[in-house]
Amino acid sequence: MLPLRRITISAASLVIEGGKAIDDDTNPGDTTDFWFSNSGLSTYIHGLIVYSPGRKATQIVQSNYPCGWWVAMFNDSPSVLTTLTGGSSFQGVLFPNNFVGVSSVQAQFLIPSQGTGFSTNNVGLSAGWGTTAFVADPAGNTQRFSFVVVSGGGGQSLNPSIYIYFPTVWPQTPFYLCKAVGGTGVPAPLIGEATASESQMNLIFNGTPVASHTYQIQCIGQ
């Protein structure tokens, strides 16, 4: 979580990966012109949640020429934070996501006593993992979990699926970041986090598994 201090840089790149930026000023009569400003090389922000209980901002990210920018941001206060990007730069891409009527505390989905543990029953595999493929070493819970897929038998194919069934149902649609982080097989990118519903998610392994090799997967959701 980032405490809200205005960040201004020049002749450099601004990179933010994940996290939360929260303004703790509850007075709706207060305003600020920006949260992050860059007039340097580039601005890259991915997966950041922004939240304000009252104070408005003219823009969250100000990118001034010649800065180029790429912003994928989750706006937890669309009624207050109405403009995510601005500035004089004309080169940029914005992927906005608004939570409507959801507070930052609710978005964290706090589970008493960590909730039900993640188990092998919470994972299903498509045929592309092999005829005798199985899941091992589960750990974690709905909000953060890991497991190992063991490819076995024959019939391995390109882009096999992994079906995730959350141990605890979310009160709202979550968003996840999932990654192949280890194992004896060559890791490949995962896609499919956007398929997440309150109860399940379908991931695709962008590669071809090899028999007798293992693939460790980790996911974090909120």
Query: Is residue 72 domain-resident?
Result: yes
Q: What is the DSSP string of 109-145?
A: ---GGG-SPP-GGGEEE-GGG-TT-EEEEEEE-SSEE
Q: Given 102, 130, 159, which residue is the final one in a domain?
A: 102
pLDDT of residue 2: 46
Whether the per-residue pLDDT at 132 is higher than 70: the answer is yes
Return the CATH number at 209: 2.60.220
- Do residues 178 and 145 touch, judged by C-beta distance below 8 A? no
- CB-neighbour burial class of residue 194 (10 A; exposed 0-12, middle 13-18, buried 19+): exposed
Query: Is residue 146 domain-resident?
Result: yes
Asked whether residue 168 falls in the same domain as residue 210, the answer is yes
Asked whether residue 94 falls in the same domain as residue 143, the answer is no
Asked whether residue 21 falls in the same domain as residue 72, the answer is yes
Whether the per-residue pLDDT at 34 is higher than 60: the answer is yes
Q: What is the mean pLDDT of the chain?
A: 85
Query: Is residue 107 domain-resident?
Result: no
Whether the per-residue pLDDT at 145 is higher than 70: the answer is yes
Q: Given 102, 126, 158, which residue is the final one in a domain?
A: 102
**123: confidence class by pLDDT, cuts 50, 70, 90:** very high
Domain hosting residue 88, numbered range: 2-102
pLDDT of residue 161: 98
Q: Given 102, 128, 156, which residue is the final one in a domain?
A: 102
**Which pLDDT tens digit goes with each residue over 11-20?**
678 888 888 8
Whether the per-residue pLDDT at 205 is higher than 70: the answer is yes
Q: How far apart are the first and last CA of the chain?
A: 13
Asked whether residue 60 falls in the same domain as residue 16, the answer is yes
Whether the per-residue pLDDT at 112 is higher than 70: the answer is no
Asked whether residue 88 falls in the same domain as residue 159, the answer is no
**Which pLDDT tens digit goes with each residue over 74-103?**
888 888 888 888 888 867 777 766 544 444
> Would you give the DSSP letter of residue 102?
-
Asked whether residue 93 falls in the same domain as residue 119, the answer is no
The pLDDT > 70 percentage for the chain reads 86
Asked whether residue 81 falls in the same domain as residue 120, the answer is no
Query: Is residue 123 domain-resident?
Result: yes
pLDDT of residue 107: 43
pLDDT of residue 143: 86
Quick one: average pLDDT of 111-121? 78
Asked whether residue 217 falls in the same domain as residue 124, the answer is yes
Quick one: average pLDDT of 45-71? 87
Asked whether residue 35 falls in the same domain as residue 130, the answer is no
How many C-beta neighbours within 10 Å does residue 103 have?
A: 12
Whether the per-residue pLDDT at 109 is higher than 50: the answer is yes
Q: What is the Cα–Cα distance from 193 to 221, expressed in whole angstroms?
A: 9
Tally the domains of the chain.
2
